[in-house]
Structure 1
């Protein structure tokens, strides 16, 4: 059926269209050429049991023994007799390879492995430690111990020296104090971001490193 808008889309130049007609044309074009992404490998599922419609398949049993090529219906009956599933594990092979297995149990096992792998992924945090220009030796020692604890846990540490009021005139002293303080830290580390000035003072970011064994 030819509609008024379809005629405009096919033969009418854009300069002769009003705003409503232009919008209708653009909508029709977007709908016609809409991009449809291909399913990712993670989203694709194995074909199982009756959804396998290839006449013949190569079969591997639940113990990994190759049973050879057979009719799919025969392989499916064998899987049913063992109260298992027939799963197409290699659809591009000639003929496709199917395995007899407990598919539900296999899916649960894979899901569990993914959860464990995700749990083992460690998130590196950046901890913050602040001190003043005239922080006493006892407090500096406590902050050093705190930083070493963060580093041993695998976290980065941002160290700030805060300058207040007239202290802002002693920038060289603040930078020197930062350098001296870094030499006190005994846990191995590397400088992620060098000492730099910011409106409130100076800071540096350090990150843990693995000790090299000779």
Structure 2
């Protein structure tokens, strides 16, 4: 018999011919069947009925008789809780639920709109439309007034611009953070109202 020296070709089981490197790639979050190291477990049947505390050997035998897997669902409990189930089907349904949850999840972005202290009326209206569009799409808006040079001495002008903006969009949003001066900018954050 020839022994291969390359570790990538060692096999865990000569009958199944599962390469060792493939075995380490597969990772599970639950212990199943022979991986469970407890002496006794609290056993839950395939239909969800409580069977009681059994030795690991008896629990494995019940799972084998039902042609299902023994899965450790609560390893930190005393004794660990194991359930008889089809592990492949369980993982498939779990992945399906996770995918559905990700699909229904709404990611809220923070959009920023800059104003100047000496902004003209038409420019203000354009920026206001952008703020309304972002809020209607469900995103938060960071409205900031940037001061250049000596404009910083008249911070009250920036305060008036942001207060005017918050009054004009008050129907569809809440002020999450009131106008506050940070460095050479005055910042206010608006969040859309929830429909609950």
Verify same fold: TM over 0.5.
yes
Determine whether 1:151 maps to 2:139.
no
- Contact 1:124–1:154 under 8 Å retained in 2: yes
Matched, 1:208 2:191: yes
Q: How many residues align?
A: 168
Q: Is 1:85–2:72 an aligned residue pair? A: no
TM-score, normalisation: structure 1: 0.57
8 Å contact kept, 1:191–1:207: yes
Does the Cα contact within 8 Å between 1:86 and 1:101 map onto a contact in 2? yes
- The separation in 1 between residues aligned to 2:39 and 2:156, in whole angstroms, is 82
Structure 2 gap segments, 5+ residues each? 1-26
Larger Rg: 1
CA, structure 1 residues 81+163, in 2 after alignment: closer, same or farther (shift >3 Å)?
same
**How much has 1:127 moved relative to structure 2?**
1.6
TM-score (normalised: structure 2): 0.60
Q: Pick from 126, 130, 153 the counterpart of residue 142 of structure 1.
A: 126
Q: Shift of the alpha carbon at 1:63?
A: 0.9
1:98 aligns with 2:82: yes
2:179 corresponds to: 194
| Secondary structure at 2:186 match in 1 | strand
2:20 — aligned with what? Answer: none
What is the aligned counterpart of 1:108 among 84, 92, 95? Answer: 92
Counterparts in 2 of 1:48-59, with a 5 A limit? 48-52=32-36, 57-59=41-43
Instruction: Quote the RMSD (CA, aligned, Å).
Output: 3.8
